[in-house]
A and B are shown apart, each in its own frame.
Chain A
Amino acid sequence: MSNSSLPRVQHIMGSGVVAAVGATVCYISYTQQPSEAFLFPRLIATVFVVLALWTFVKACLGWTKVGNGLSLTQFSNLAPGLIIALIYIFWAAKGLGFYTATSIAFFILLSLYDPPPHGVLKSWVKRIITTACFMAVMYGLFALLLKVYTPREIFF
């Protein structure tokens, strides 16, 4: 693996973000009170920031040895799924109730990513059955067996 094959710009961005987080953490831990409670965070943050800057400098110089970054194809592949997943987790799960939201998210993700052609009716029936089976298992496991009371807004 030669160094030039690694996406240098991406690495600079990635390690830049980590270094920025490190610097913020470091700043917060040295300014907050009471200082005894921040003894450990200070220690950690100092090491954190040193290592993060080192990584950042290495990335800028193109010395990074590991990590293949993200290709454009990969990114465009994952983007729709990730967006659906984030909407599901950060809004729908609470807003629509766990079971409703999960059924919808599950079905959409399956439609987006499973290989059978979209034009054929049979594949849609299969998707619906899969979703129903999955929800039945989840309901049995979490609601009936483990008695977890999940948020249920509309329906259940």
Chain B
Amino acid sequence: MKNLLAGAAIALMGLTQTATADGHANYPERPIMMMVSYGAGGATDFQARIVTMTSGNEDALGMPIAILNKPGAGGRVGWNWLAGQAEADGYTLGAYNVPHFIAQSIKGGVEYSTASFEPIANWGADPAVLVVGKDSEFNTLQNVVDFAKANPGKLTTSGAGLFVGHHIAALQMEKAGDMKMAYIPTKGGGAAAMKAVIAGDVMAGINNLSDAFRAAQAGNVKILAVADLERNAFLPDVPTMMESGLAVDNASVNFRGVMVPKGTPQGIIDKLAATVPTMFENSRVAGKMKAGGSPMHVMNRDEVLAMWAARQETLKELLAGL
């Protein structure tokens, strides 16, 4: 019995040693978990499920990725968990939303910043758009700006929360147009914010392009402008805010991608950074994303690092006055 135990112990030690010695060549050895800091069925969750669906293929990671939802407070709950409580063993990934988590970390009161995470790859870029109800008297961005200038603080505008992309877009609009809007954060994410616009609870709304595209297709809203540098392929007829004379850049574009908590072994980060972008480029993934009305934008680890740094600068400046 004693011998048996000793043998088992040696075998165990041997196992753990090989695992660390081989530079994580065998990673992943079991299914991986990816935390999404928004609820099941939200845009981030939906896209995360699609882009990870081929992860079990042999040419990808060879192990499936399971989605774990930790919603609450505009994503703070999930990212706090990833930064503070998740194990940095490579088996816990997280989905990021930029500018959300960067803006929240600048604003304070959370346990994370860009330094708490290591990006892996970016899969999507979902610009914020300005929407109004289908019967609204506003037909162009200029109408909205004129109203907001004439009635400071009276233009009720819904968005998915404070210090998320929608809020950043609203702040940028206020700054660019030198006007005051009444930004109404909703609980329940983009869907609740969109409901407020369709039902006429608010006069306008800022929402994800993917969700707004769907609502516009259903004939429930009018999309007036896109807060991005270029027009979007999904909405070739909708002008950018800059074209309509409002100097709003792409700082509010919602970049979605994969990251891991700081402290994850470098070997694993390298392996993920090499595999994950190709996994996103899979044609089945691209097809499903397009069908669902979700704009894709694949970026590798270095590009994401640069993008994070750039956002950090812009947002610091924008949020300084608040």
Residues of A in contact with B (beta carbons under 8 Å apart):
147, 149
> For residue A151, which residue of chain B has the nearest CB?
B87
B177 within 8 A of A: no
Chain A to chain B: the 7 pairs with minimum beta-carbon distance, closest first: A147-B66, A149-B33, A147-B31, A149-B31, A149-B66, A149-B30, A149-B91
Q: Which residues of A contact B30 (CB under 8 A)?
A: 149
Output the residue of B30, B66, B91 with the most chain A CB within 10 A: B66
> For residue B32, which residue of chain A has the nearest CB?
A149
A149 to B68: give the CA distance in the assembly, Å. Answer: 11
Q: What distance in Å separates the Cβ of A138 from its nearest Cβ neighbour in chain B? A: 18
> For residue B68, which residue of chain A has the nearest CB?
A149
Residues of B in contact with A (beta carbons under 8 Å apart):
30-31, 33, 66, 91
Q: Which residues of B contact A147 (CB under 8 A)?
A: 31, 66
Looking at chain A's contact residues, the main secondary structure is loop
A147 to B91: give the CA distance in the assembly, Å. Answer: 14
A149 to B89: give the CA distance in the assembly, Å. Answer: 14
Q: What distance in Å separates the Cβ of B89 from its nearest Cβ neighbour in chain A? A: 12
Q: Which residues of B contact A149 (CB under 8 A)?
A: 30-31, 33, 66, 91
* A-B CB contact pairs (8 Å), 7 listed: A147-B31, A147-B66, A149-B30, A149-B31, A149-B33, A149-B66, A149-B91
A131 to B91: give the CA distance in the assembly, Å. Answer: 31
A45 to B312: give the CA distance in the assembly, Å. Answer: 39
Q: Which residues of A contact B33 (CB under 8 A)?
A: 149
A143 to B33: give the CA distance in the assembly, Å. Answer: 14
> For residue A147, which residue of chain B has the nearest CB?
B66
A47 to B31: give the CA distance in the assembly, Å. Answer: 49
Q: What distance in Å separates the Cβ of A151 from its nearest Cβ neighbour in chain B? A: 10
A149 to B31: give the CA distance in the assembly, Å. Answer: 9
A149 to B238: give the CA distance in the assembly, Å. Answer: 45
> For residue A146, which residue of chain B has the nearest CB?
B66
A128 to B196: give the CA distance in the assembly, Å. Answer: 58
Q: Which residues of A contact B91 (CB under 8 A)?
A: 149
Q: What distance in Å separates the Cβ of A95 from its nearest Cβ neighbour in chain B? A: 15
A147 to B65: give the CA distance in the assembly, Å. Answer: 11
> For residue B33, which residue of chain A has the nearest CB?
A149
A149 to B30: give the CA distance in the assembly, Å. Answer: 10
Q: What distance in Å separates the Cβ of B16 from its nearest Cβ neighbour in chain A? A: 13
A147 to B31: give the CA distance in the assembly, Å. Answer: 9
A23 to B102: give the CA distance in the assembly, Å. Answer: 37
Q: Which residues of A contact B31 (CB under 8 A)?
A: 147, 149
A149 to B66: give the CA distance in the assembly, Å. Answer: 10
A147 to B67: give the CA distance in the assembly, Å. Answer: 11
A132 to B91: give the CA distance in the assembly, Å. Answer: 29
Q: Which residues of A contact B66 (CB under 8 A)?
A: 147, 149
Q: What distance in Å separates the Cβ of B230 from its nearest Cβ neighbour in chain A? A: 39
> For residue A148, which residue of chain B has the nearest CB?
B66
Q: What distance in Å separates the Cβ of B9 from its nearest Cβ neighbour in chain A? A: 11
Q: What distance in Å separates the Cβ of A150 from its nearest Cβ neighbour in chain B? A: 12
Q: What distance in Å separates the Cβ of B28 from its nearest Cβ neighbour in chain A? A: 12
